[in-house]
Each structure stands twice: as structure tokens, then as C-alpha cells.
Amino acid sequence: PRLLFATSNAGKLRELRGLVGDAVEVVSLRDLPPIPEPVEDGATFEENALKKARAYAEASGLPALADDSGLCVDALDGRPGVLSARYAEGDDRARYEKLLSELASVPDEARTAAFVCALCLVLPGDTAPLIEVGRCEGRIGHTPRGTHGFGYDPVFLLPEGKSLAELTSEQKASISHRGAAFQKMRPHLLSRLGG
Ligand code: ITT
């Protein structure tokens, strides 16, 4: 069975490949003729994941797995949330630096945050999309640490004190929001793809 990873984020793509393993043959957007990016104007991760999976499954004719994810910071009332990719102009570093400066005066005990990931699988012509959500709880540090992962990983601290960017990809997969969502999705994915 072939599965389209419906994301243009290289970090997500790498992690999804690691999670899926070689159980299914994976196609990425780079392997296909250009597909216009769907508008991500949903209010929730689930809504946006569904919009992406539907649009890419329809355009490609392939089963599509989309990931909508982000960082919800309690001291910012859940921001940047669904807007995590667009929180600041520029690269990942510009975004986590903005977060650190917004939180500059927030004390340790109030720096709690969670990563959330909604995965959505849509088969072409199928009216029953499958959605699973995973979370990863932590807090925002004061300085970036570590070189692995992507996005906000260098400033996201786990309860034991390491940042997500200090973990290997296997370690991150075992505790991350994306890993958690995928573990729930895995059995359904395999049965729907018939593999
Ligand atoms: P696609 O829509 O093409 O999948 P995107 O990057 O625009 O790519 P999102 O709208 O879901 O995707 O934005 C998610 C953002 O949240 C992402 O760009 C990161 O900044 C952040 N993020 C999500 N998962 C993360 C993780 O595991 N580690 C660090 N940051 C993460």
C-alpha cells in the first residue's frame, strides 16, 4: 500500500518516516507534481489536519496522512497553538526566540506548555476520516538547548530537565505528541491501507 505524507515540513516528514517504518510504502509531496497548499484556517488542530488530509488525498488520488501540530503555552492562554508555524516571520529560531522574549518575565512555575499533534488519515473517496491526537507536557526553558529535532524543540523542557532537542529521534518518538498520536493511529492505518 502507498501512503502520502501530506506535509511540507521536513522535520515532521523525518519523524513520520521513523514512526511508520517500512510497514507501508511512503510517498512525499516532493515525489508528486505540485499541489496547491490548502488554507489552514481551522480553529483546532483536528480541523486543520482534516483540511490538509482531505485536500491532498483528493488532489493526489492517494491515501493521505496529514499532521497539524503546535505548541500551547499556558502563560499565553494557549498561544501560539494552531498558529505555531506562523508565530514569527523567518525560521524556527526566530519563532522560539520570540517565545523566549514574550515569556521573559514569567517565572518557572508558570512556564508550563504542551505540544499537541493531530494526525488525520483520509482515503480518496472515503467519507470517514480517521483522526488521532497526542500531547506532550513540559515547560518553556530560558535558553535554547540541543541540536536535534526541529521547531520549538530547543526551548521545550521535559519534566526530567532535558530539552526535546537533546533527545535522539528514537527517544523523542517514544514520548512526543506525534509519537503518541501515531501509536493510536497505527492499527487503524494498517487495516485501512490493507497492509
Ligand atoms: P505542514 O502544514 O505542511 O504539515 P507546517 O509547519 O505549516 O507544515 P503546522 O501548521 O502544523 O505545519 O505547524 C506546526 C508548527 O508547530 C511547526 O512549524 C513547528 O514550529 C511546531 N511544531 C510542531 N511539532 C513540533 C515538534 O515536534 N517539535 C517542535 N516544534 C513543533
Number of helices (H), then strands (E), belonging to the chain: the values are 5, 6
**ipTM associated with this complex:** 0.99
The yes-or-no verdict on residue 169 having pLDDT over 60 is: yes
What pLDDT score was predicted for residue 23?
A: 83
Domains of the chain are: 2-193 (3.90.950.10)
The yes-or-no verdict on residue 1 having pLDDT over 80 is: no
The residue nearest atom 4 of ligand 1, judged by CA position, is 7
The residue nearest atom 2 of ligand 1, judged by CA position, is 7
Q: Which of 67, 68, 77, 108 is catalytic?
A: 68
What pLDDT score was predicted for residue 195?
A: 52
Q: What is the pLDDT of residues 24-45, one digit of tens each?
A: 999 999 999 999 999 999 999 9
In the chain the first and final C-alpha atoms are separated, in Å, by 6
SS3 99: helix
List the 130-140 sheet strands across, edge first. 25-28, 2-5, 64-73, 112-122, 130-140, 156-157
Q: Is the CB of 153 under 6 A from ligand 1?
A: yes
CB of 63 closer than 8 Å to CB of 123: yes
Farthest CA pair distance, the chain: 52
Q: What is the pLDDT of residues 76-102, one digit of tens each?
A: 999 999 999 999 999 999 999 999 999
